[in-house]
Every structure is written in C-alpha cells, then in structure tokens.
Homo-oligomer: A and B are copies of this chain.
Amino acid sequence: MFNDFKLTDRDRPAYIQVKDYLKRLILRGALQENQKLPSTREMSTLLSVSRNTVIAAYTDLEEERLLYAVPGKGSYVAAVQSSVTDEELSWQTNWDSRINSYARKAVELDRMKHGIRAGRGFISFTSIAPDEELFDLENVRRAFMDRMAIEGNVLLNYGYAKGYKPLIEYLKRYMEQKGVDLEGKDLLITSGFTEGFDIVLSALGRTHGTVLCENPTHHTAIKNLKLNGFEITGIEMEDDGLNLQQLKQALSERAYDCAYLVPSYHNPTGIVTSPARRIAVMKLLAEHQIPVIEDGFNEELRYSSSHALPLMSLAGQGNGVIYLGSFSKVLFPGMRVGWVLADRELVSYLESIKRARNIHTSTLDQSVLYQYLHNGHLDKYLKKARSIYKRKFEWTRKCCEQFIPFAKVSGDGGLHLFLKFNPDFDTHLLLEACSEQGVVFTPGDMFYTDERGRNTMRIGFSRVSENDIERGLRIIGRTAAELLGKRL
C-alpha cells in the first residue's frame, strides 16, 4: 500500500497531491472505516515527501471529514459512503431516444462536426479568425491589471444581465461615432455575435415564418435561422450588394418576419454594399415594414472602399433596425463579447432572455475589453492590423488573379476572398484533389440558402503566411486547371 504514489506536477502543492491521493483511496474503499493510517512520520517516508506535507494533507482530510484524529493515537478513516454502488442504481438509457429534434438539428447543422480537417503541415484557407501573432498581449495584460486594481472584487462577483455599465456606455458612444441616433434605443451585451443573433431570433414572433437574407450569407446565421424554425428566402448578391429587382419581387410575393443583412465585408463574398445601394435596400424594406437585423461584421477592417454608414444610421430615429456588433474578428475572439443595439422595448425582452440563458456575459471579459478600449488601444491596434491584413489581402488577390485566372474574385476587405468558377465546376472535387496535396479551403455551397454555390469557394487568409498563400493558391490553380482540362 502507498507505493503507487508519485508527485506528478511540479506546480501543484505537494500536500494537495497527497490529499488527492488519499482521498481517492478512501472513496474507493481501499482504506476502510476506522482503519488507522500510518503516522505522519511513517507516511512521509512511505510517500517520499516531507512530514509537513503529510501533516497538511491529514489536516485537510480531517476538515473534509474523511479522517478523524484520536488524540495521542493517530488518524483514522471516517465513515464515508463508498462509491462502490448498488447494481440497481446503475441503469443505462439510450439518450438518442430521449433527445428532441432541436438537438438533432443542432448536430446535423454543426459544420465543425462535419467539416474538413486539415492535417499537420497543411496550408489551410478555412479560417477567418484573426492572426493571433498580431495580438496585443502587453496591453491586454495592462488592461487586466488596471481594471483589477480599480475594482477587482466587483469584477469577480455577479454583474448585470444587460452588461458591464462602463462598457455599455463606451459602446453607445462608439455607435454614435458611426452616426447612429441613440434616441429610444438601448444596448445589451452578449457573449459574441452568435449569442446576440440567437437571442434576437428566439424572441421574434414567427408570424410569417420566413426571413430574408443575402444569398450566399454567413453559414452560422443560416444555421441559427434554421434552428430557430425560420424558413429562409435568399436574395442574390451582386457586386454592389443585394439584387434590387429580386428583392422587390420577393417582397411583393409574401410577407417576412425580418431581414438579416451584412452590408460590410459580407461573409462569404467580401462585398461592401455601396451607400446608394444601402439606401435603396432600406427604402424597399421600410415600404414593407420589414425589420432588419444588421450584422456589423468586420466593419472596422476597412482597407480601400470609402466610408459607409451602418444601416442603423440610415434609419435615424426609426426603430426598425437591430444592430449586432462584435470585435471578435478584429480583436480577441477568445473573449466572448458582442452587443445588440436596438429599440429600448425590444432590448428589455432580450435582457430577460439573456438572464434566463446564462445570467450575464463574463464581467472579466467585459471589463478587460472596456479598459483596453478606454485606454485607446483599439485604434492603435486596428492601424497595425489593417496594414498587415491589407498587404495579405492584396497579395492573396494578386495570387488568385495570377494562379486561378478562370475564377471570378470578389472581396473589398476583411479576412477572406470569394471565388466563383463557371457554373458546372465543383469545388468539392477541387477540395478533394487539393487536400491530397496538403491544401484546404471552404467550398462555398455551405453559405447558400438554396442548393447552389457548388462552383464557389472562400479563401480565408488571416492565418496563412504570404509564402503559404502563394504556394497554396498555386496548387489550387493548377489543380483547378486540371479539372477544367485547361493548360495554365
């Protein structure tokens, strides 16, 4: 006995490792009720640890009522319910038969569970997460220390469902800078864009059961729309945003509960809808009184196109637009912070749903983000990130044009480009062939609301080096040419 103990972890206090070890023996029934333990001196020899370590472990175990001490005699194992159990209590159920259709759909639509796995050393264009090498760790550290010094106790205790007040105020000012009229509006902090979108959808009446959106569009949005029981009507994306003719047609044919739009650096096409087109789209939707869920995706990563206002700003004091914001793609996705800016009455409903779902978003995340923003680091970081991403963006674009000249490239900014081949080309076949050569990307059909898009693909470049961008796109181009029976 006691000969299988080892100090396995240098960082973890030795007495806790001894305690954990003895606890396991007691709970397993290997040490039995009223059994006398070796003295602390003997035990320290048996386990090759100091006597003080054993004393500390015994004391803790007494406090947890797993041991009891008899003065002058030693330590004994207390009466403990052993985990060796009754067969009767150990029944099996088939969970699959106890699960509902929502859970089943969540798995079915979960791209991460059915996605492409990139092997080691692969060149992967599948991610559009920011490049973590750019992260501004020093200032995040500083923001954390600053905020902890100011109100550490407060940060670690419960906060408000609506969010951390200084951050709410900061984001309201930030949205005002984007030209938004805050009159009659309120702001709710969520754990990222996805949660904001899911909460909004969960609250909306399914009067008509259908939502309008761009086609293609953000696949997570498609998933959440479907999971929330909405049907989707996709309107084709042109080089400058929604096809107005199609939109008009769709609006005349039936009614919709809302529209979901990504006016800037649209995912996956990368298109920035022009100011004029924004107004035209908003006019049509206003005529039919269709509320808009605006996804402020990557609005901050402007490289080239001119300044454009969010749809929410165009609506002035109107309350028909729900704006979903997040710095995830620009700053730190690991901190799950996003926001919903919308009509005050609506936000009050959303706040109660947020509270029911997880009480509130991590105050630590919110306060560190707040302090980081407040200290003025977003602007500095954006400047740096923009210049690096812009170079990569232009390089990727150039490589696409050079190596894959038979595909149409779109994208004005953000962290990805979109390629469109001729209609009978199949990017799934291309992926299969490229993947054998160590290169993967995202086939575009997952972004489509209908069965189309098998001739498209998304190229995320944020986490690929310039060398690999060139190598990878060269391979994609050569392989596509082979499939097309072309000669480069």
Binding site for B on A (CB under 8 A): 9, 11-13, 16, 19-20, 23-24, 27-28, 60, 63-66, 78-83, 85-86, 88-93, 95-100, 102-104, 106-107, 109-110, 112-113, 129-130, 132-133, 135, 137, 140-141, 144-145, 148, 152-159, 161, 173, 176-181, 190-192, 194-195, 198, 202-207, 220, 223-224, 227, 257, 275, 279, 282-283, 286-287, 289, 291, 302, 306-309, 313-320, 332-336, 343, 345-346, 348-350, 352-353, 355-365, 368, 374-376, 379, 383, 386
Contact = CB atoms under 8 A, between A and B. Distances in A.
B132 A100 contact: no
Given A83-B179, A158-B129, A275-B81, A349 B99 contact: yes
A83 B316 CA distance: 7
Contacts of A356: 106, 109-110, 194, 198, 220, 223-224, 227
Contacts of A368: 364
A349 B133 contact: no
A135 B106 contact: no
A343 B133 CA distance: 38
B24 A176 contact: yes
- Of A257, A357, A360, most buried by chain B (CB within 10 Å of CB) is A357
5 contacts: A80-B306, A85-B315, A85-B316, A89-B315, A336-B362
Contacts of A359: 191-192, 194, 333, 336
A92 B319 contact: yes
B102 A203 contact: yes
B306 A79 contact: yes
B140 A152 contact: yes
Given A86-B279, A364-B334, A374-B11, A106 B379 contact: no
A383 B102 CA distance: 43
A469 to B, nearest CB: 19
A165 B158 CA distance: 25
Contacts of A334: 154-159, 362-364
Contacts of A361: 191, 336, 362
B195 A357 contact: yes
A204 B446 CA distance: 28
Given A359-B194, A376-B16, A102 B319 contact: no
Contacts of A20: 173, 177
Nearest to A66: B307
Given A89-B316, A95-B349, A102-B203, 18 more contacts: A9-B374, A13-B376, A64-B307, A78-B307, A82-B179, A89-B282, A95-B343, A95-B346, A103-B349, A106-B355, A112-B355, A130-B157, A132-B154, A140-B148, A141-B152, A156-B335, A157-B332, A227-B356
> Which 5 pairs across A and B sit closest by C-beta, in order of nearness?
A83-B179, A90-B318, A103-B203, A195-B358, A156-B332
Given A137-B153, A360-B336, A365-B364, A353 B313 contact: no
B306 A65 contact: yes
A203 B283 contact: no
A346 B99 contact: yes
A34 to B, nearest CB: 14
Contacts of A154: 132, 334
Given A65-B307, A133-B153, A306-B79, A319 B364 contact: no
Nearest to A321: B89
Nearest to A132: B153
A355 B179 contact: no
Contacts of A206: 100
A83 B302 contact: no
A355 B336 CA distance: 12
Given A204-B99, A334-B159, A135 B152 contact: yes
Contacts of A343: 93, 95
A86 B365 CA distance: 38
Given A81-B275, A158-B129, A65 B302 contact: yes
B375 A11 contact: yes
A161 B112 CA distance: 9
